[in-house]
Amino acid sequence: MLGTLGRYLRFMGYDTISANSIPPGNQGEDSLLLGIASREGRVLLTRDRELAKRGAEQAVYISPVGVLPQLQVLVDLGLVEPRIRMNRCSLCNEKMRRAQVTEIRNASYAPGQREGLTFLWCVHCRKLYWAGSHSEDLANRLKKGIKRSLVSTRRLR
């Protein structure tokens, strides 16, 4: 439901897990998600109004469809600061480390011009990241599409 939002949150440095990690067809999925949120001190983000009601303060109902309006909800609630941090893998959520020279060299998709770039590596996905035009585009999208909130940030994990 909120896959794109999850990826943005990871680019923003937030520890974000997805319901996609739960096997499909699990009858108790809602209870399982609420249990994870409670046990791990997470905020459950959902487009399911009933699930959000069941989660009370542990859950947030996300009604907008687009990712920027969804992020605006979280900013307005003081849960996130709209800033790209690039310290988590956007796919698996693992914290990344600085890439080694061989990892950069072996990544066929790495840019040819590497001067001034910092490369990060996800050990789990074996994926190379760097702050290039894509992260600049994301940062500009946030800057133009999100207005800062005066609410103090409660913070997602």
Low-confidence residues in the chain, pLDDT < 50: none
CA atoms of 74 and 54, how far apart (whole Å): 19
CA atoms of 124 and 130, how far apart (whole Å): 17
pLDDT of residue 157: 60
pLDDT of residue 86: 94
CA atoms of 26 and 147, how far apart (whole Å): 38
List of E strands, the chain: 44-46, 59-61, 97-98, 119-122, 127-130
Burial environment of residue 100 by CB neighbours within 10 A (0 to 12, 13 to 18, 19 or more): exposed
pTM of the model: 0.86
pLDDT of residue 147: 87
